[in-house]
Structure 1
Amino acid sequence: MSMDARFEDGGETPLNLGALDSDDLQVLSALVQDAVFPVTEMKWLATERRFALLLNRFRWEDVQAAEKRGRAVERVQSLLVVDNVERVASQGVDRSDKDMILSVLSVDFDGETDSAGQVTLTLAGDGAIRLSVEALEVTLKDVTRPYIAPSKHIPTHD
């Protein structure tokens, strides 16, 4: 009799995931919830039709292991990249304030199919970034080793 894999069986390897439909995007959204980034770490490459963020992502996938082993929770720097971007709009984001730190609450897709539509990054404090895409293609890749979360606490929401 075979047994399904358990969360505890996962390794301590960096994430490198992609989303090509709204179900996949929900997984990425859960993984980037509470990620923080300076406003200076987002870039739209219009000629490449790519929007990228360098995030300090809370490692939600590691919380159980950290608690079980009695060690601090962690963050990791990750790239969140959206391809096929035709337009970018934002609300509540002052790009001229180079000290502004933004926090991701969710990433959602609104479209009739998994092709053309809007990818919306909802930010804490009523901010949002809306990306008009020709086709849904989002990747999340950890690019550094994990580090102890400066707050040493699991993020909470009221």
Structure 2
Amino acid sequence: MTRDASFKDGAARPLRLRALDGDDLAVIAAITQDAVFPVKEMRWDRRARRFALLINRFRWEDGAQSAERVQSVLAFEDVMAVQSQGIDKADADLVCSLLSISFTRATDGAGRVELTLAGDGAIALQVEALEVLLRDVTQPYAAPSGKAPRHPD
């Protein structure tokens, strides 16, 4: 008899996920909630049509038991345009906190990905098609705060 995979099965291995539709994106959004990243770790490669962030994400898949973070690359493919608001890109010391990721699909399969940041910041990506990749690139490390992120009710 076979069994379904569980979180424990992947706990020791780095995550590698791909989102090609809204349901897939909801999983990546949940896993990257409360990720932090310095503004200097945002890159848009116009020629390759890729927007990427090097994020320090909280390891929610670990059940918030160990209060660990891991560096991950969050990459968006087929990006035609990038807009931002509430982000001072000239401030190299600015650290952003990712609250959510959403996708609004247009009739032709293209659409708009919106990354909502704490403090009224946002990044909007016009995409030809939804393709998002999340890949852990370091070993987990103890979260500096020693606690899981919390949001007021």
TM-score (norm: length of structure 1): 0.91
1:48 counterpart SS class: coil
1:93 aligns with 2:62: no
- Identical positions, percent: 59
Q: 2:15, 2:134 within 8 Å by CA — same for their partners in 1?
A: yes
1:27 aligns with 2:27: yes
Q: 1:22, 1:114 within 8 Å by CA — same for their partners in 2?
A: no
Give the counterpart letter for 2:124 in structure 1. R
Q: 2:11, 2:61 within 8 Å by CA — same for their partners in 1?
A: no
Matched ranges for 1:34-113 at <5 A: 34-63=34-63, 67=65, 72-112=66-106
1:96 counterpart SS class: coil
Return the alpha-carbon distance in structure 1 between the equivalents of residues 54 and 106 of structure 2. Answer: 29
1:29 counterpart SS class: helix
How big is the shift at 1:79?
0.2
Q: 1:20, 1:114 within 8 Å by CA — same for their partners in 2?
A: no
List gaps (5 residues or longer) in structure 2.
none
Cα-Cα RMSD: 1.5
Return the alpha-carbon distance in structure 1 between the equivalents of residues 108 and 140 of structure 2. Answer: 32
List gaps (5 residues or longer) in structure 1.
none
Give the counterpart letter for 2:116 in structure 1. T
Segments of 4+ in structure 1 off by > 6 A? Answer: none
Return the alpha-carbon distance in structure 1 between the equivalents of residues 40 and 139 of structure 2. Answer: 21
More helix by share: 1
Q: 2:72, 2:138 within 8 Å by CA — same for their partners in 1?
A: yes
Q: Deviations over 1:26-72 (max 9, x none)?
A: 000001000000000000000111100000010000125xx3xxxx4
TM-score (norm: length of structure 2): 0.93
1:145 aligns with 2:139: yes
Return the alpha-carbon distance in structure 2 between the equivalents of residues 135 and 98 of structure 1. Answer: 31
Given the superposition, is the C-alpha separation of residues 113 and 125 from structure 1 closer, same or farther in structure 2, using an over 3 Å criterion?
same
Q: How many residue pairs are counted as aligned between the two chains? A: 152
